[in-house]
Amino acid sequence: MSVTGASPTVGQALPPVGSTVRPRHSRNNRSAYLYLAPIIISALVFTIAPFILTLYYSFTNWDLRFRRFNYSWVGLDNYRDVFATGGAFYPVLGWTVAFMVITTLVNVGVGMFLALLLNHPGLRERNVYRTLLIIPWALPFILLIQVWGGIFNDQATSPLNAILTDIGLNPVAWTSEVAPARFAVLAANLWFSYPFFMTVGLAALQAIPRDLYEVADLDGAGWLSRFRDITFPFLLTAVMPLLITQAAFQFNNAGIIILLTNGRPGTTTYGATDTLASLAYKTIFEKQDPSLAAAYGFVVFLIIASFTIVNAVVTRSFEEAA
């Protein structure tokens, strides 16, 4: 006859008959919830509650210019205003998508290219170059954006316009014309973003087994074959999850727009460099219409949520390990 289950060791007292033995890990579970409590409370107070309040305001007619806190329920009126034909939503959405795609591809591409250069064994003083190239990531954002604002100044004596004048070109109205203003935003955003992807690329390159390159050398593979068959697949594996998160971040990027161009140039309704996030910001602080801004914010949330879902599916981040 075989006895299943664990038997008590010698000297260990048996539990009384009819008593309930609590699992040993229950105490650990309580400790885990205790450690998570500050995060849960912070999420409830600073994320979930403001989100619910913003969603509620999007269905009201709260207007800081006239009603203050005397507002009423208006249903989907704000969302009708958002999606109305001839409004600001569709032109701003078009630029927001273009801004997201261009910045994601350029920022990631430049970061990976610099990582490949810095990882080359024949490059001397690589540590010096790494230190210099990571400086934009280390300096305060608010300080650097003011520097970029001075560089892309409309005045003829601004640094960039002075250089253009010295080489025989005309000064450019960087914030008064659509194409130069958008270029300025893209260039400044590249400066703030490439160090992160350069660091990720360097880490991915360092993780590639050296044995693969040695085998490729024995087979007589050239640098193009080595890059195509070894380097690029490893880089793509490391960068692919970041592409979606970077796209979601850039879609919701408002800080660089507000601080560099404030949406200029544009009309009284929207600016040529406005994204949906900056338009929502200007709607509440300039037009003082928080209910309409809340509707814009919820629409942006739905779009960003779709990016999050796609990222979770691609990376399988919510799948439990077997």
Q: Where are the domains of the chain?
A: 88-315
Query: Rounded to whole angstroms, how far apart are CA atoms 232 and 197?
Result: 15
222's CB contacts (< 8 A; 6+ apart) are: none
d(CA 65, CA 289): 8
CATH superfamily label, 88-315? MetI-like (1.10.3720.10)
Residue 179 CB-density burial (10 A; 0-12 exposed, 13-18 middle, 19+ buried) = exposed
Report how far apart, in Å, the C-alpha atoms of 180 and of each of 171, 264, 266, 273 are: 11, 11, 13, 10
DSSP string, 241-292: HHHHHHHHHHHT--HHHHHHTTT-SB-SS-BTT--HHHHHHHHHHTS--HHH
Whole-model pTM above 0.75?
yes
CA nearest neighbour of 116 among 205, 238, 209, 234: 205
In the chain (322 residues long), the average pLDDT of successive 10-residue segments reads 48 55 60 86 92 92 70 89 88 94 93 89 82 86 89 87 90 90 93 91 87 82 83 85 86 91 83 92 87 92 86 68 48
Q: Would you call 322 helix, strand, or coil by DSSP?
A: coil
Residue 22 has a pLDDT of: 55
